[in-house]
Structure 1
């Protein structure tokens, strides 16, 4: 984390590398702290120390809705806790779900795993159903399962095959692990495998932080 306020060119290059996510895994450093004074959130850097993602919430603000932004402050995904739900349930939207300009597409429904038996499962993300009649979720969308320990900063995200792809095995698409030489749990590493969206991987981190918030 050598740079907190990188130049415009560095930010553009870092964002392009993260968005492509091709060829090799992307390793990001997640800092569980906002750049805002007296705020809370996350700040995410690439391997060169350039700012890639950020989450900023003012102290005292609502924790039911969190917006993941890029380095320039553009909304990428909104994580919103569902109201009046019998289970712990969250919704993930593209962009800013609170924007009055246009309704944000709903992408995933996330649920906290609940079991009376000991389990390494933490959460499950399922493709959101289309809101309009006759429309359907993208056929390529698949379910994601999160396993491990968020408190221990050691977990994996797996992509599970859809109903029509049972012959395929599930594969690991992202992982959270402790960062070398980091002091405390507020700085850790997020590793994103090729082909998986880094912003969605960071949304999973935000979800788990919401699910395990005291």
Structure 2
């Protein structure tokens, strides 16, 4: 059975997820929908060896407006913030800990996420779109990807597909959420991230779907 609790002896080592990413291998993570802190809510994420990789810690009831994805040492990697006064269900994904950056320059925005709305049954759940313009050094615009999430979050069966915003590339599956082999319940599941896709961004997608289902 896959180890659930973190391996404290590896705290000072390089994150195995980063090593797998450098080798061009798929990254397999175990997601535990529980905080390591007493009375806290959130997520705890381990690699295939049981080492702590990411964590999310929130407090209070209901769905928080802002969630920070942290690494094993508590450093903010991405901030997921629900957009205020929006006609649609929208969330913004920022680089780093946005709350810690409010006194300085605004953190870079990575994506805008929207819940998919349709009157007909569909497997599509959400869309993540990059900022409208991403400038590069020569004054041009950097081509970027948009992501579509399909499946069932309640059933812990999700696929994340990437496609070029320019429409010049065939869409491809970059991450998958699935139930673990052992019958451990819906709060422990697997996140598999394909080479070339950021594991932290894949985990941000999981947080977004959790927020959308709680709202």
Using structure 1 for the length normalisation, give the TM-score.
Answer: 0.89
Distance 2:34 2:111 in 1: 25
Alpha-carbon offset, residue 83 of structure 1: 0.2
2:15·2:53 contact (CA, 8 Å) conserved in 1?
Answer: no
1:46 — aligned with what? 47
Superposition CA RMSD, Å: 2.3
Pair 1:141-2:144 in alignment: yes
Q: Check conservation: 2:159, 2:175, Cα contact below 8 A.
A: yes
Aligned residues: 208
Q: Which moved more, 1:26-35 or 1:140-149?
A: 140-149
- Tell me if structure 2 keeps the 8 A contact 1:44–1:54: yes
How far off is 1:8 after superposition?
4.9
For 1:29, the equivalent position in structure 2 comes to 30
Q: Do residues 125 (structure 1) and 128 (structure 2) align?
A: yes
* Cα deviation code 1:59-85 (max 9, x no counterpart): 348700000000000000000000000
Query: Is the 1:21–1:195 Cα contact (8 Å) retained in structure 2?
Result: no
Q: Indicate yes or no: 2:175 matched with 1:169.
A: no
User: Is residue 42–residue 55 contact of structure 1 (8 Å, CA) maintained in 2?
Assistant: yes
Question: How does 1:133-212 map onto structure 2 within 5 Å?
Answer: 139-163=142-166, 165-166=167-168, 168-212=169-213
TM-score scaled by length of structure 2? 0.89
Runs of 4+ in 1 over 6 A off after TM superposition: none
Q: Deviations over 1:88-132 (max 9, x none)?
A: 000000001112233210110000000000000000000023599
Unaligned runs of 5+ in 2: none
Q: Secondary structure at the match of 2:147?
A: strand
Given that residues 182 and 188 in structure 1 are in contact (C-alpha distance below 8 angstroms), is that contact kept between their aligned partners in structure 2?
no
Q: Secondary structure at the match of 1:200?
A: helix
Shift of 1:24: 1.6
Long gaps (5+) in structure 1: none
User: Residues 90 and 113 (structure 1 numbering): CA distance in 2 closer, same or farther, change over 3 Å?
Assistant: same
| Structure 2 equivalent of residue 14 of structure 1 | 16
